[in-house]
Amino acid sequence: MKKRPYVICHMTASIDQKVTGAFLSTETGRKAADDYYRIHRDFEADAFACGRVTMEGSFTKGWYPDLSAFDDAGEISHEDYVPADAYYSEKYAVAFDRKGRLGWKESIIHDEDPGYDSSYVIEVLTENVPDQILHYYRSIGVAYIFAGNKVLNIGTALEKLYDMFEIRTLLLEGGSVLDGAFLKKDVIDELSLVTAPVLADEKDKPLFDGSFMTEFRLMSAQATEAGNLWMRYHSVSENSLPCLKLKKVAEAIEMADDFSTYYYDLKSGELESMLNDEAFIDSEAEDEFSVLLEEDPDRFVEMPGRYDLHNSPYSDYRMMEAFVETQPMYKNKLGRAIQGKGAFRRFREAVAQLYLLDDWYKFQNSFRLEAAKWWCRKEGWHFE
């Protein structure tokens, strides 16, 4: 399988799964949009992608440059163009705009929402695009890549975004036609739907234009404070990229020791373990797992070992330090306990003497989850 970003189709929808229409302008729709934008920020994706109409409505507002100044600029090679500044951007705005009809005024988006602000613009074009707009995009520093002759090739575009810009997570944010094109290409790994409690008009556009039967697995469903429902689904397609269960990764971090290595089974979502010294494998199940691991290594993800987080912000020692900061009444005593040799033993004794064990265990669980998130992001794994 060729490498591509993990694609999350993130949308606001009505109960009947319409994504355009007057309902978005109601008080109910605005509350759903607020949840949508908050979740967009929380994903911390490398890029978001929209079709021409959506980008125009949200950012360029219908403006288009006068290209007559480039009439005599001559032919220009239809090769991918990436300005040096684009390589150093922390996030990107990917516009699927096959004929180059978006009128960007500069290469960076300026928006009041920090989730979109400072995104570097990447135009995804076809070969069937006028030379004048390429000259114009170059003049203002907009990056562009080619994906297809007259019809956009989604697969090619995703491969280039992965290789050229190191985009690992992409939020697909409409419109309906582009969502449908991604679905048909079978490259949507996850659905993130903020559902507003309202029915839309019959003429409004559906989530996917031209959809077909596709199965997804429910990852989570939760009510927001504004009264909307946020649901996440993962594709069950063989082409979908894996998504790890965060609690299982945190469990592996908690259990890590010198004697065993833990593996995440992408097929079952469960953990498997194997003794580090094969001479001590003493169970039939463990022996069967070692054979399976050798026969199908791509099915398993090796979990972090005891010392893999040792020099990270999520080491065991840093966990004790962080807990001390949450206990202002006992900060001095706990702080002294973690100094010098024997810090772990003295800390446990102090926590017990101060009747803080329940607080410590709750903090420990929360800290392990954050460590699991950090490790997944560092290793390029997506998580639920």
Task: For residue 307, tell me if it sits in a domain.
Answer: no
Task: For residue 250, tell me if it sits in a domain.
Answer: no
pLDDT at 280: 53
pLDDT at 329: 94
Angle between helical axes of 316-325 and 343-353 (0-180°, round to 10): 30
Task: For residue 249, tell me if it sits in a domain.
Answer: no
Domain count, the chain: 3
Task: For residue 192, tell me if it sits in a domain.
Answer: yes
Asked whether residue 284 falls in the same domain as residue 217, the answer is no
pLDDT at 278: 58
- Tell me the pairing of strands 143-146 and 169-172: unpaired
pLDDT at 310: 86
Asked whether residue 91 falls in the same domain as residue 203, the answer is yes
Backbone angles phi, psi at 169, to 5 degrees: -130, 125
pLDDT at 298: 86
Asked whether residue 67 falls in the same domain as residue 214, the answer is yes
pLDDT at 281: 53
How wide is the angle at C-alpha 12 spanned by C-alphas 7 and 13, nearest 5°? 115
Asked whether residue 117 falls in the same domain as residue 265, the answer is no
Give me the count of residues in the chain. Answer: 384
Q: Which of 46, 36, 357 is nearest to 228 (CA)?
A: 36
Q: How far apart are CA 248 and CA 111, in angstroms?
A: 37
Residue by residue, pLDDT tens for the chain (384 residues) are 579 999 999 999 999 999 999 999 999 999 999 999 999 999 999 999 999 999 999 999 999 999 999 999 889 999 999 999 999 999 999 999 999 999 999 999 999 999 999 999 999 999 999 999 999 999 999 999 999 999 999 999 999 999 999 999 999 999 999 999 999 999 999 999 999 999 999 999 999 998 888 999 999 999 999 999 999 999 999 899 999 999 999 999 999 888 889 999 988 889 998 887 655 555 566 678 888 888 888 899 999 987 888 889 999 999 999 999 999 999 999 999 999 999 999 999 999 999 999 999 999 999 999 999 999 988 888 888
Asked whether residue 77 falls in the same domain as residue 48, the answer is yes
Task: For residue 308, tell me if it sits in a domain.
Answer: no
Asked whether residue 225 falls in the same domain as residue 332, the answer is no
Task: For residue 156, tell me if it sits in a domain.
Answer: yes
Asked whether residue 142 falls in the same domain as residue 261, the answer is no
Q: How far apart are CA 310 and CA 264, in angstroms?
A: 21
Asked whether residue 287 falls in the same domain as residue 367, the answer is no
Asked whether residue 291 falls in the same domain as residue 321, the answer is no
- CB neighbour burial string for 144-163, b if at least 16 within 10 angstroms, e if fewer: bbbbbeeebbbebbbbbbbe
pLDDT at 257: 86
pLDDT at 285: 60
Q: Which of 218, 241, 264 is the last residue of a domain?
A: 241
Asked whether residue 227 falls in the same domain as residue 279, the answer is no
Q: Which of 241, 267, 283 is the last residue of a domain?
A: 241
**Which structural domain range is residue 263 located in?**
256-302
pLDDT at 382: 87
pLDDT at 190: 96
pLDDT at 287: 74
Q: How far apart are CA 59 and CA 93, in angstroms?
A: 10
Q: Which of 241, 270, 285 is the last residue of a domain?
A: 241
The domain that holds 130 is classified in CATH as 3.40.430.10
Task: For residue 309, tell me if it sits in a domain.
Answer: no
Asked whether residue 183 falls in the same domain as residue 40, the answer is yes
> How far is residue 194 CA from its own chain's centroid?
16
Task: For residue 36, tell me if it sits in a domain.
Answer: yes
Asked whether residue 280 falls in the same domain as residue 334, the answer is no
